[in-house]
Structure 1
Amino acid sequence: MHIDLSGRTALVTGSTQGIGAAIAAGLAGAGARVAVNGRGSKSVEAAIARLGAAGGGEYVAAPGDIATDEGAQAVFDAVPHVDILVNNLGIFGPAPALEIEDDEWRRYFETNVLTAVRMTRHYLPGMVERSWGRVQYIASDSAVAVPAEMIHYGMSKTALLAVSRGFAKAAAGTGVTVNSVIAGPTHTGGVEDFVYELVDRDLPWEEAQRAFMRAHRPQSLLQRLIEPEEIAHMVVYLASPQASATTGGALRVDGGYVDSILP
């Protein structure tokens, strides 16, 4: 399948590293002009330099903390119009369920959910006016199989599924598609250290991650961590003209982690 996104502008929130950077690279590789977002100019410029050196493509800087009104406006000013919006920004971390304070619940909702709502509310009308656009939300297996140690994170990702479906209805019949991508356990920064805290440090990485998955993520049918580029492949497809009939969906790239045929 040849995917051509030439002439399209994409914005990927939280794209200076990890899954977001992989998505930015994938979209740029398909020909899109990609706006890279992070909280500060230095991190964004460094990410653009790495992405350009690794595979070329056209990138623009869109720094700004989109969890704040001021940061969001800075991004809007840097990228007034987009054809493809990927709401990737998210935070996570373990915490005992009964010890999560109100402020932490708010922080997870505002960062993981409200930022995506804010971005969509700004960019979706222009897509509708132009009769073409793609909006995506990077959700998680935790949206469906809520982890006991991260229920505030699971709550935020479950909310994204509702947000995605709701905005898909708002865009019905306009030529704009809205979907969420359910990502499974992924090999991102810091994960290797986490894995080696739980398995034999003398094991080579490939063996270590498989041992980790067997012992701590046995639901996975893939039985290894997902690479960020594998998440990006689904995002690039959903951004393409070939995905024109896919909207309102929650598409899984979870390695079979969720024990269900449908989300």
Structure 2
Amino acid sequence: MHIDLKGKTAIVTGSTRGIGYAIAAGLAGAGATVVITGRKQADVDAALSKLRDAVPGAQLRGVAADLGNAEGFAVLQKAEPVADILVNNLGIFKLQPFEEIPDAEWTRFFEINIMSGVRASRAYLPGMRQKNWGRIVFISSESGVNIPADMIHYGFTKTGNLAISRGLAKSVAGTGITVNAVLPGPTLSEGVQDLVAPGEGYDAALREANAFVKEHRGTSLIQRVATPEEVANMVVYVCSPQASATTGAALRVDGGVVDVII
């Protein structure tokens, strides 16, 4: 299967590193013009430089904006008013006992993990309707199905991603626009590396993360963490013309952690 996204503009939120960067690299490799986003200009510039080296000839742009609030999103929309492909990847996570999560933290998670995708989808959907073609992907998580006891606020937002993506898919029924959610399982992004083995390097983080999966995610069928690129492969396919009959779906890249048949 050859995925050709030439002529398509793709915006990937939260894409200076981790899963978002891997998705941006995958879409660029398929020929899309990719817009990298991040809060800090230095991070955006570094990601663009890295991606140009990884995908020679890639068509890339970057926007520095805090998409966790409406003001920051207005910056993105002014710079990039149109998108054919939108990947709502921006998200945060934090291990925290329920009793210790204050109201402000619930609001912060809601604004970043849910409202960033709501605002982006609301802004770019009209242009997709005009073309009768578009791809919107929400990066949810297996934690949206298996709510983790040690970060309930994160799981809550990832369940919200599933609800929004399914409802939005229904709202564009019969068009050339598809809306889906992708659910990664434990994935060795830079954020996870910093959590499990801060400052100890990739190999140490990989050992710690794989040990965590075996101990705390016993239903995993691959018995290891995934790589960001493995998640990105699913996203790139979902964004492709070949995925035209896949919409309203919750697509798991969780290594089999969620113990259900469908």
* Both proteins in one fold, TM over 0.5: yes
Q: Which letter maps to 1:96?
A: P
1:185 corresponds in structure 2 to 186
Counterpart check, 1:123 vs 2:124: yes
Counterpart check, 1:113 vs 2:77: no
Select between 40-49 and 207-216 the one with higher mean Cα deviation. 207-216
Alpha-carbon displacement from aligned partner over 1:79-134 (angstroms, at most 9, x marks no partner):
11000000000000011112211111111111100110000000011101110000
1:99 corresponds in structure 2 to 100
- Measured on the aligned residues, the alpha-carbon RMSD in Å equals 1.7
Q: Which letter maps to 1:79?
A: E
Q: Which letter maps to 2:74?
A: Q
2:7 corresponds in structure 1 to 7
| Aligned-residue offset at 1:10 | 0.1
Map 1:1-263 onto structure 2 (within 5 A).
1-56=1-56, 57-192=58-193, 194-196=195-197, 208-262=208-262
| Aligned-residue offset at 1:213 | 2.2
Alpha-carbon displacement from aligned partner over 1:199-224 (angstroms, at most 9, x marks no partner):
xx9x9776554433222321211111
Number of positions where the alignment pairs a residue of Structure 1 with one of Structure 2: 258
1:153–1:95 distance in 2 versus 1, CA, 3 Å:
same
1:167–1:193 distance in 2 versus 1, CA, 3 Å:
closer
| Aligned-residue offset at 1:231 | 0.6
Q: Which letter maps to 2:258?
A: V
Secondary structure of 1:61's counterpart equals: strand
Alpha-carbon displacement from aligned partner over 1:22-55 (angstroms, at most 9, x marks no partner):
0000000000000000012221111100111122
Matched residues, percent identical? 55
Q: Which letter maps to 1:43?
A: D
State the TM-score, normalized to the length of structure 2: 0.94
- Matches of 1:207 and 1:238 in 2, distance apart? 31
| Aligned-residue offset at 1:241 | 0.5
Q: Which letter maps to 1:13?
A: T
In structure 1, runs of 5+ residues without a counterpart are: none
In structure 2, runs of 5+ residues without a counterpart are: none
Secondary structure of 1:72's counterpart equals: helix
Secondary structure of 2:190's counterpart equals: coil
Indicate conservation of the 8 Å contact 2:140/2:182, yes or no. Answer: yes
- Matches of 1:81 and 1:124 in 2, distance apart? 9
Select between 29-38 and 94-103 the one with higher mean Cα deviation. 94-103
Indicate conservation of the 8 Å contact 1:61/1:78, yes or no. Answer: no
